[in-house]
Structure 1
C-alpha cells in the first residue's frame, strides 16, 4: 500500500476482518480484567522522573514473559522489537510527576475508577503498551509486513526530565537511530484528541546571590529576595495578547533562612511555552532583560554588598508540527472513522516534540478510557471503553507497518 492521502475506511475494514487481526481486536475486550490488573500493578511501582529504574525493570520482565526479546538502553528506556527495521515505534513514558508512597495509594473505588498518582498519565499509556505486547504474540498469524514493531517504555517525559528518553532514542547514540520510521506515542487516556503539534517550552532557573546578613544591623546591603521579586514582577508584566499563542509561568520560588535574616540566595524556576520557537526566543530575551533590570535596581539602592544574578536553562522542548497530509495522520483518521471515534487535532507538549522537530512522523494519542486530575493527588482513570482505544492503537499500527511506500516523511 503506497502512502497517500486518499486512504479510506474500507481498507481498515478489510484489515480488521483478517482472522489474526480480528482475534487481537477481540483480545482487548475479552481480557479487560487482565489489562486492568496489569494497569494497577504497574502504577504501584513508583517511577518519579529520574527514578524510573524499578518500573523499567518491571516492564522488562513483563515484555519477556509476553515473549519479546527486550532490553534496557543507556537512557533507561525499555525496548522490545518484533520483525525487521524500519520500525514503527509505539511508545509510552514511564515517569510520573507524583509517585505513590505505598501500594495502597493506588486504589479502585466501588464504581471501578482507579485513583492515585499516575493512573492516567501515564498508567493508561503504559497499560496499552502491555496490552499490545500481549496481543501481538497471540498464536494466530498476522500477515507478513515490510516494517517491524518497536515497543518503548521511555524515561524522562515529565517536567525537568526534558524528554531525555526520547532524545536518546532519536540521537546517534542509540543503535536504533536510523531504524525508526515513525512514532505513535500513547500518553494519557482520552481518545477525543490527536496531538499533531508539539507545544514548545523552555525552562530556566534564575538565581540571585548576595552577602547576606542580619535584617537590622546589615540593612541596606543587596537583598537577593528583593531582587528576585522585582525580576518576577517585571517578567510577569509581559504582554502576550498578540502573535503565536504563548504562556509564561514562575512555578517555584525559594530562598532565605529566616524572617530576620537577609538571604544569601534566592531562586525561581520559569516556564516559557509557545507554539512558535521564534516567540519563545523573544520571551527568553524578555526574561533576561527583567533579570538584568532587577539586579541593577537592587544594586543602585544598596548601600553595601551587591547582588549577582545567574540564569541557567534547565529544559528545552522544540515546537514542531506534523503536516496535515502526513500518512500517519490519515491512517488515524481512517481508523477513527471505522471505529466511530470523534477526535480533534490539538497542540501539547509530549514526547512527539523531538521526532517532529527532526522531521520524523510522530503523533500522540490517548490509550482509551477516561482520565483526569493529572499531576495532582486526585488523579483518576476509568477503564470504561478502554478496549476501543486499544483497537484504535492496534489498527493504526498495522496500517503503518504494512505500508511499504517511501519514507512517509
Structure 2
C-alpha cells in the first residue's frame, strides 16, 4: 500500500507539472460563468424519477456539442466518451433525477452573487454541471495522452426515491459496457468534506389497507383503513427505534401516507410507504418480523371492532438497495486521498445510500463524492446551491480521474 501511495504521489506531481493538466485546471476557473449557465439551464428542465427523458436529451446534446461520442442505453442513461471507447473504463457518473421538480423554469432562481434556489439545484444539479465541465475541459486540453483506462461520463436515471438505482443497475449488469467497468466516481451533491465509501442498504415497502368505505354517519361502524394504518405505524414505531442494532447504524422512516377522499367519508383505502436503512443487511430481518406483526395486529384490531365488513391488507416491497464497502486499501480511495493531500482537502469517510451501492455490491471499486461548491435543503422546495469553491471540487475530480486513467492496472489489486 505504501508503495502504491508513493507511486501515485509521484505521478500526481508529474501531472501537476504538465501543461495539458494545468490548462484543464485553469479552464475550471476561467469558465466559471459557462459552467454556471449550464447548471441553471439543466435545473430548469424537470426530471422527476421515471421522467428524466427531456433532461437526458438535453445532456446528450450538450455532450455532442462538446465533441463527445454519445450513447443512450436501454435504461435511458446518457453515456459520453471524451476520448476513445476502446478497452477498460472508469466511469464518472451523476444522476439525472430529482425528488422534486420545478413546475416552471422561473422556480429556479439565481441571485446576483450566483446563489441558486430551487428543486434539485444541489442534488444533483451540481453533479450534472460537473460532468459537462469535465467534458469541456478535457476536450479543450486532453490531460492524459495514453491512458490505461478510458473515461465514460454517465448521466444516469433512477437514483432517487423509488427509482431503486435502476439506471446504475443497468449500467453495471445489462449495459454493453458492463464487463468493461473498472472503477466508479459517483458525483452526488456539492460537498467535498466527505467521501462515501460504504453503501447503506435500504428496503422500501408499501402498506395498503383496503375496505368497503362508506358514509361517516349512515355507515358508521364499518372498518376504517386510516385507523388501521395509523395503528400499524404506531405499533411499529413503538417497538422499533432509530440507532444501533446488530452492531451497525440503522434508521427507518414513514415518508408518505395517503388515504381518504372526504372528511365525512370512511376511506376505501389507506397507504403508507416505509424506508428501512442499515449499514448491514442482516439487520432487516428483525425489522421485517416487527412490520408483519404490526400490520397483522392492526388489521385484526380494526376488524374486531367493526360492526360489518372487513378490511384486507397488502404489504408490498417497492425496492432494495444492496450494501457494499470499499476496502480501505483500495487503489481508488488512495487515488482520491493523494489528490486531497495535494489540494489541501480534508475529507472524512462515511456511509450513505447512493448510486455507488450497486458497483460496491458487485465488488467493483466505487465511491461517491461532491462536485464542489456548497448547498443545502436537499429534497425540499427551499434547496439552494452556492458556486463559491466549485472550481476546487472540479480540480479534485479531474486530478483523480487522471490518476485513475494512468494507473488502471493497480485497480485490480
* Structure-2 residue corresponding to 1:399: 403
| Shift in alpha-carbon separation, 1:403–1:140, aligned structure 2, 3 A | closer
Structure 2: distance between partners of 1:185 and 1:123: 13
Matches within 5 A, 1:244-393: 244-393=248-397
Show structure 1 runs of 5+ residues with no match: none
* Structure 2 residue 100 is the aligned partner of structure 1 residue 98: yes
Q: Specify every segment of 5 or more residues in structure 2 that has no aligned partner in the other structure, as ranges.
A: none
How many pairs are equivalent? 408
Q: How does 1:77-92 map to 2 (within 5 A)?
A: 77-81=77-81, 82-83=83-84, 84-92=86-94
2:114 maps to what in 1? Answer: 112
CA distance in 2 between partners of 1:55 and 1:239 (Å) = 39
Report the 3-state secondary structure (helix = DSSP H, G, I; strand = E; otherwise coil) of the residue aligned with 1:253: strand
1:159-174 matches, within 5 Å, as 159-171=161-173, 173-174=174-175
- 1:36-47 mapped onto 2 (5 Å cutoff): 36-47=36-47
Deviates more, 1:135-144 or 1:226-235: 135-144
Q: CA deviation at 1:64?
A: 0.6
The structure 1 residue matched to 2:145, chosen from 130, 143, 146, is 143
Normalising by structure 2, we get a TM-score of 0.95
Tell me: CA distance 1:336–1:262, structure 2 relative to 1, closer, same or farther (3 Å).
Answer: same
Structure 1 residues 294 and 386, CA, compared in 2 at 3 Å: closer, same or farther?
Answer: same
TM-superposition CA deviations, 1:90-114 (whole Å, max 9, x none): 0001111111222222121132211
CA contact (8 A) 2:192 2:372 kept: yes
Greater Cα offset, 99-108 or 385-394: 99-108
Number of the residue aligned with 2:216: 215
Q: Distance in 2 between matches of 1:253 and 1:107?
A: 31
SS in 2 for 1:182: strand
- How far apart are 1:241 and its partner, in Å? 4.6
Whole-angstrom CA distance in 2 between matches of 1:152 and 1:390: 16
Q: What is the CA distance between 1:384 and its match in structure 2?
A: 1.0
SS in 2 for 1:347: strand
* Alpha-carbon separation, structure 2, partners of 1:304 and 1:384: 64
Q: How far has the Cα of 1:385 moved from its partner? A: 1.2
Question: Does structure 1 conserve the Cα–Cα contact (< 8 Å) formed by 2:210 and 2:268?
Answer: yes
In structure 2, the residue matched to 1:50 is 50
CA distance in 2, matches of 1:396, 1:178: 22
Q: CA deviation at 1:343?
A: 0.7
- Counterpart CA distance in 2 for 1:334 and 1:139 is 23
CA distance in 2, matches of 1:400, 1:267: 47
**1:174: how far off?**
1.0
Secondary structure in 1 aligned to 2:198? strand
The alpha-carbon distance between structure 1 residues 242 and 46, as it changes in their structure 2 partners (threshold 3 A), is: closer
Aligned Cα root-mean-square deviation (Å): 1.8
Deviations 1:40-96 (A, max 9, x none): 111111111111111111111111111111021111100112332210000001111
**Residue 405 of structure 1: SS of its match in structure 2?**
helix
Classify the secondary structure of the residue corresponding to 1:259.
Answer: coil
Change beyond 3 A, Cα 1:241–1:146: closer
Query: Secondary structure of 2:409's partner?
Result: coil
Q: Is the 8 A contact 1:24 1:136 kept in 2?
A: yes
Alpha-carbon separation, structure 2, partners of 1:141 and 1:333: 20
SS at match of 1:249: strand
Task: Give, in whole Å, the separation in 1 of the partners of 2:378 and 2:320.
Answer: 22
The alignment's TM-score, normalised by the length of structure 1, stands at: 0.96
